[in-house]
Structures are given as C-alpha cells and as structure tokens.
Amino acid sequence: MPLLIRLADASDVESMAGALGRMIPRDRGTIVQVGSAAVVKGLVYAPTGGIAAPTTSLPERPGGDLNWDYRYSWIRDSFFSVRSLAEIGFTSEAEDFRRFVQRTAAGAADGLQIMYGVGGERRLTEEALYHLEGYRGARPVRAGNAASDQLQLDVYGELLELSWSWHRHDNSPDEDYWEFLVDLVETAASRWTEPDHGTWEVRGDGEHFVRSKVMCWGALDRGIRLSEECQCPAPVEEWRKVREEIRAAVESDGYDEELGTFVRAFGSKGLDAALLLLPKVGFIAYDDGRMIRTADAIRQQFDDDGLLKRYPRSDEEGAFLACSFWLAECLAHQGRTGDDRTVFDRAVSTGNDLGLFSEEYHTQTAEMLGNFPQGLTHVSHISAAIAMEESLPSVTEE
C-alpha cells in the first residue's frame, strides 16, 4: 500500500519507477501507468504465481444483485496481466504464472479450468449468502464463482500466446511444458466448433462467440510457430488445416458484409467490445478496413459519455473501463493520433486520487462499480499507454 500512496505525489515518480524497475517515458501522463504496474504487482500471490483480486460482492449495479466473487485467478485476466508486466520488464511473473497454470491443471488440457483459487484450488462452488449484504446494501453476497465450470475457448489461445511471448524473450518451452502445449493446441483444434460462454462469461446457453473462435485460431497459429522455431515435434500440417478452417468460418459467419464489421457471435448482427482484441493475436491487422469499421461501430453503438459499454443488453451495468483502453490502443495502432488520446484521457479520468481504477463506472453518478482495484482495467491501461507512446513520431535531437 505505501507504493500506491506515494504514486499520488508526482515529484516521487522517478524513485517509484526505480523501485518498479520501470523507465519513465517522456509523457508525464504515464505517471498513472507506473501506478497500474504497482497495482498489478500487488495482485500477484507470490507463493504460487496466481493473480487475483482481493474483493467480493462489489456491485456492478448500485444496490443490485450483480455481485460476484472476484478472489480467484482467471487465466484470461492473468494472461493480460503477465503480458503487460512483461512489456515493461517484469518477465519473472510470466514464468511464475506459467508454472501455476501447468501445476493446477495437472499438466493436461482436459484438467484446465478458466479460473482457480490463488493457491491452486479447483472447487469454487458458488454460494449466495443472503444473510449478508455487500457494498451499500447490495444482495446477495456471493462466495465462490459458478463461472469456474464454464467452457471458455479463448483460454487455449491465451496460454499459447503467453508461451509464444515467453519464447520471444529467450525462454522456450522445455520438453514437459511442450507436451502440455501440444495438448492445449489439440484441444483447441477439436473443440473450436463448440459454443462457449465467451469473454464475458455469459450465464445460460453458450454461443459461437467470434473472439473465442479467433483465440482458438491463435492457439493453432502459436503452436505452429513454436513447433517450427523450437524444432519441437507436432502434427503441424494438421494444425495448419484447422487454422485455415477457423479463419474461413470467422470471415464468413463472424463477419457481416452488409454492416462491414465483425459481429459478436456467428449468426448475430450485434457487436461486442471484445472484438477490439482481434488484432492482438495477429488474426487481422489493426489498420485493415474491416477492423477500422468494427472499431468505429463499437465506439458509436456502445458509447456512454465517452466511455464504452461492453456488449448489447448491458444497460443495467456501468461502462466497462478496460474496453475504453482497448479502444484507445486500437486507435493508436491505426494511427488515429488525437482520437486515441481523447478516449484514453476519458478513461483515465475515472480513476481516484491514487490513480486506481474500478471494473466499471457509472457515468451519470460518477461512481465506481464492480471489482476494485480491477487488474484487467490497469493492465489495459498499460497496454494502451505503450501503444500510444509507440505511435508518436520519433523526435530527433540536433
């Protein structure tokens, strides 16, 4: 906590950066970015490498029942966290999380869950505690999370992407971990045609979410690349065939020719802010016309006073802050300087006096909603800041 308190003092940024091992970029706005790194570091459970929030039952709707237990290590959110930390020099966290996942999944894809307890616990049965009340009277308080039993196909791609990034930092998979990765790729190859619950862990029946399909594509793509570069044995030709099948399906069933955009799920005309992540795995270029139109449509349809909702039918919750940072990152990679800064600054303005961000934000009441501090928001802030910094024209000193 002292680290976070000291971030409020701009004069102390250089010593703080030194403590974090982070070079300060030229833009003074990245003071909060250093704070985000401190937050994410603070959410790492050092004994195991798991990354989790410390809160439960902070409502997404004031006084309502959208109260979830966040005290677990989600593969998706942890993947974003360790990748962002690695981008600013904290590579050991990636290795710790890699070991955490392999250990808790018992080294096999069929044992993989989408989340675990920070100690590797697997039984996360959700229980509603009606005799308790959460923040500002929200009920019910929940312990455990039923989403732990969901099928979320994106986790295979996220783990392969993490391994690919780790390999590019001169840490290639050893024989045991490669066996685990092959199992993950094979599972993605065999299950990508199934409906799942998607990035947002939608409760009820699954759908054929486009981002889930793209992350299965990413699992196969990264598996092929790792096999070739590391000279590790794998059925690469079979993987290439499935990879192209997934691309063909997404570009036909996951794209609406009339709208000129990607869509939330096969057969849908709706959008989803998670589509802003499609370029991050290399499925499509940021400046591809289809992606530009998709980003513009998401911005137009989901705008909430300069922030973004995350998907249709989300009126009952606040703007989802990570989505605004995803949009800023996307605009930066598209060369839309100025536009990216507008979106970025609006999202940054929702932080408190210590630069801490929540999961969501109620624009009418200026109230933080949901998990706090939200790791996914902070790591998305880091990625957006890096993308914006890299998009700035270089300055040549005379």
Tens digit of pLDDT for each residue in 299-338? 999 999 999 999 876 567 899 999 999 999 999 999 999 9
The confidence band for 18, taking pLDDT boundaries of 50, 70 and 90, is very low
Name the CA radius of gyration of the chain, rounded.
Answer: 20
Residue partners of 288: CB distance under 8 A and separation at least 6: 279
- Domain count for the chain, please give it: 1
CA angle 311, 273, 66 (to 5 degrees): 40
What is the pLDDT, as a whole number, of residue 92? 77
Separation CA 397–CA 250 (nearest Å): 46
Range of 298's domain?
259-392
Residue partners of 252: CB distance under 8 A and separation at least 6: none
The confidence band for 61, taking pLDDT boundaries of 50, 70 and 90, is confident
Asked if residue 23 has pLDDT above 60, the reply is: no
Answer yes or no: is 277 within a domain: yes
Instruction: Look at the alpha carbons of 186, 192, 198, 202 in this order and tell me if their dihedral is positive or negative.
Output: negative
Asked if residue 396 has pLDDT above 80, the reply is: no
Asked if residue 342 has pLDDT above 80, the reply is: yes
Asked if residue 16 has pLDDT above 80, the reply is: no
Asked if residue 27 has pLDDT above 50, the reply is: no
Q: Between β-strands 50-51 and 73-74, what pairing exists: parallel, antiparallel or unpaired? A: unpaired
Separation CA 374–CA 360 (nearest Å): 9
What is the pLDDT, as a whole number, of residue 56? 87
Average pLDDT of 172-187? 94
Cβ–Cβ under 8 Å, residues 374 and 76 = no
Asked if residue 179 has pLDDT above 90, the reply is: yes
CA angle 51, 37, 42 (to 5 degrees): 40
Q: Which residue has the higher pLDDT, 250 or 4?
A: 250
Which residue is listed with tokens 């094979």? 186
- pTM recorded for the entire structure: 0.89
Phi, psi of 306 (to 5 degrees): 90, -10
Answer yes or no: is 274 within a domain: yes
276 burial type by CB count under 10 A (0-12 exposed, 13-18 middle, 19+ buried): buried
Separation CA 269–CA 253 (nearest Å): 10
End-to-end CA distance of the chain: 43
Q: Which residue has the higher pLDDT, 390 or 181?
A: 181
The confidence band for 80, taking pLDDT boundaries of 50, 70 and 90, is confident
Q: Give the helix/strand (H/E) hosting 390.
A: helix 375-391
- For 124-172, how does the pLDDT look when each residue is reduced to its tens digit (9 = 90+)? 999 999 998 888 888 899 999 999 999 999 999 999 998 998 898 888 9
List Cα–Cα distances, 390 to 90, 239, 310, 335, 380, in angstroms: 19, 33, 26, 10, 15
Number of Cβ within 10 Å of residue 83's Cβ equals 21
The confidence band for 19, taking pLDDT boundaries of 50, 70 and 90, is very low
What is the pLDDT, as a whole number, of residue 170? 85
Separation CA 104–CA 111 (nearest Å): 8
The confidence band for 33, taking pLDDT boundaries of 50, 70 and 90, is low
**At CB < 8 A and 24+ separation, what contacts does 143-147 make?**
143/56, 143/69, 144/69, 145/68, 145/69, 145/72, 145/115, 146/203, 147/114, 147/115, 147/197, 147/201, 147/203
What is the pLDDT, as a whole number, of residue 244? 98
Cβ–Cβ under 8 Å, residues 82 and 94 = yes
What is the pLDDT, as a whole number, of residue 369? 93
Answer yes or no: is 140 within a domain: no
Looking at every residue in the chain, the average pLDDT score rounds to 86
Answer yes or no: is 291 within a domain: yes
What is the pLDDT, as a whole number, of residue 60? 86
CATH code at position 342: 1.50.10.20
Average pLDDT of 47-53? 88
Asked if residue 1 has pLDDT above 80, the reply is: no
The most confident of 26-40, 135-149, 183-197, 372-386, by mean pLDDT? 183-197
- Alpha helix ranges (H) inside 210-357: 210-230, 236-253, 289-302, 321-333, 339-348
Q: What is the dihedral of CA 383, 284, 183, 116, to 10 degrees?
A: 30
- For 366-394, how does the pLDDT look when each residue is reduced to its tens digit (9 = 90+)? 999 999 999 999 999 999 998 998 887 75
User: What's CA 370's distance to the chain center, in Å?
Assistant: 16
Answer yes or no: is 36 within a domain: no
Separation CA 272–CA 120 (nearest Å): 31
Q: Between β-strands 319-320 and 360-362, what pairing exists: parallel, antiparallel or unpaired? A: antiparallel
Answer yes or no: is 324 within a domain: yes
4 burial type by CB count under 10 A (0-12 exposed, 13-18 middle, 19+ buried): middle
Cβ–Cβ under 8 Å, residues 360 and 311 = no
Answer yes or no: is 237 within a domain: no
Which residue is listed with tokens 């974090």? 20
Answer yes or no: is 336 within a domain: yes
